[in-house]
Amino acid sequence: MQIENKKRVLVTGGAGFLGSHLCERLLADGCDVLCVDNFYSGLKGNVAHLLANPHFELMRHDVTFPLYVEVDEIYNLACPASPIYYQRDPVQTTKTSVHGAINMLGLAKRTKARILQASTSEVYGDPEVHPQQESYWGRVNPIGIRSCYDEGKRCAETLFFDYWRQYSLEIKVARIFNTYGPRMHPNDGRVVSNFIVQALQGKDITIYGDGSQTRSFCYVDDMITGLVHLMASPKKLVGPVNMGNPDEFTILELAEAVLTKVGGKSRLVMLPLPEDDPKQRKPDITLAKQQLAWEPDVKLEMGLEKTIEYFRRILIK
């Protein structure tokens, strides 16, 4: 009998939107994948199609508690990323980022595993610098309603770099900008899923503010490729590395693009802008281009078509 020597990879938050796509990609790349999720915002349905694969294992576990497994690499994606979910239990959100980072870094230290932190563009807050470069320290409200997520992720980055300096741990830090695609939760409150679901259901499209604020939208397949490239990069590249699509759109442009593709008679309705909502968001991905030879391929038009097709399918069920 031939003994398989597959790389053992742990994905925390593996049943979430990004995590499930990552698990899929790692299995396709020949890895043995342990998917860990507490199902606060992740869904078993996102990984149900992987359960029959003998190289995939699903474990219910909360990363705020230690985990004792043997792995070669860790992708730490655990943390609700949409305001609806992370503001529902802000204390737990902060714990997930901070205690979760401590526990996963401890596991990486014990097993000598390489570990990647899924950080966020939210560490830049409402930026004074545009586009945002990794050298920018950010402008974040430490006591606002979004702080549980923003500051939790900032603290996680601090912990990663302290473990790197103090213990020579092999770390990678990715700052993920707005990502969209199939398996987004229809009720997660994020702008792409909101607009598509509202348009498909013939409801008003709700725009917060006047629609002039900007975002950059990265299709999920491009993002997963970027994360895999970063994990495989030379040891000296620790990050942080911006990951996102530098094509910038106003929220109004996004709403109009969705309406054009979906059709129907939905109206655009303006509502007050939420507290601490950033006015601009665009990644400078020069570092990712130079060090990882990575940049997104999927244009918004094509990505929206694939995402609309997914939501059309699940909403009809």
CB 207 within 8 A of CB 267: no
Number of domains in the chain: 1
Tens digits of pLDDT across the chain (317 residues): 456 789 999 999 999 999 999 999 999 999 999 999 999 999 999 999 999 999 999 999 999 999 999 999 999 999 988 788 788 899 999 999 999 999 999 999 999 999 999 999 999 998 898 999 999 998 999 999 999 999 999 999 999 999 999 999 999 999 999 999 999 998 888 899 999 999 999 998 999 888 888 899 999 999 999 999 999 999 999 999 999 999 999 999 999 999 999 987 888 888 887 765 677 889 999 999 999 999 999 999 999 999 999 999 988 75
In the block, tokens 């503010």 appear at 209
pLDDT on residue 317: 59
Q: Which amino acid is at 153?
A: K
Residue 290 lies in a domain: yes
Has residue 238 been placed in a domain? Answer: yes
Residues pairing with 115 in the sheet: 74, 171
Helices (H) and strands (E) in the chain, counts: 9, 13
Catalytic residues: 149
Domain encompassing residue 254: 8-316
pTM of the model: 0.93
Q: What share of the chain is helix, strand, coil (3-state, %, to 5)?
A: 40, 20, 40
**HEC letters along 66-129:** CCCCCCCEEEECCCCCCHHHHHHCHHHHHHHHHHHHHHHHHHHHHHCCEEEEEEEHHHHECCCC
Amino acid letter at 119? Answer: S
**Which domain CATH number covers 15?**
3.40.50.720
Task: Please indicate, yes or no, if residue 3 is contained in any of the structural domains.
Answer: no
Q: What is the pLDDT of residue 220?
A: 98
**277 occurs within a structural domain:** yes
DSSP 279-295: S---B--HHHHHHH---
DSSP code of 7?
P
Residue 193 lies in a domain: yes
- What is the structure's pLDDT at 276? 58
| pLDDT value of residue 266 | 86
- The residue type of 57 is E
pLDDT at 280: 80
Query: Does any domain span residue 2?
Result: no
- Cα–Cα distance between 75 and 113 in angstroms, integer? 10
